[in-house]
Amino acid sequence: MTESSTTDAAASTELESRYGAPRRSVPVKSQRWMIIGALILAFGALVYVTVGNTVGQLTHNDVGYTITSDTEASVDFEVSKDLDATVQCMVHVLDNSYAVVGSRVVTIGPQEGSNPADRSEYYRTDVRTESRGVTGVVDSCWDVD
């Protein structure tokens, strides 16, 4: 053994005792399989969260409104719910200062269908008002059960 290799070995031993043994790198093939596994798990979690949140969720969207007269308005809206659920929605007609000038609770019963696309339906309701409204909205919807 030469003097330089002895010095290198001593320096290496000294560094290992001070900082620990050098890390071994993970083989490229193992890294690739770990990345593929992580991507599969992430995709599975995404599908689980997406499907889990849409099943049984109650949503409503304003579609439109018609101001019929100074004392009446029609409000069009869409409700997505479970097919066998009964829900109620609070519909408001507002004036230009966003004050409620008319409101109505609409009850929506179970509906027919078996596809997930059948969960959504459009509705129109007439609302009596105290004064002329300028817009109609669905404030909220809730399960009656």
Domain limits of the chain? 3-54, 59-143
In which residue are the tokens 């003097």 written?
3
pLDDT in tens, 91-124: 999 999 999 999 999 999 988 877 777 788 999 9
Is the pLDDT higher at 127 or at 83? 127
User: Which of 24-38, 40-54, 128-142 shows the highest mean pLDDT?
Assistant: 128-142
CATH number of 59-143: 2.60.40
Residue of 102, 81, 59 whose CA lies nearest to 145: 81
Mean pLDDT for 60-82 is: 93
Q: Is the pTM of this model over 0.75?
A: no
Q: What percent of the chain has pLDDT over 70?
A: 93
Residue range 21-42: average pLDDT? 89
Question: Which residue, 110, 106, 104, is CA-closest to 86?
Answer: 110
According to the model, what pLDDT value does residue 48 have? 82
Among 5-9, 69-73, 116-120, the least confident range: 5-9
Q: 51-84 b/e with 16+ CB inside 10 Å = b?
A: eeeeeeebebeeeebeeeeeebbbbbbebbbeee
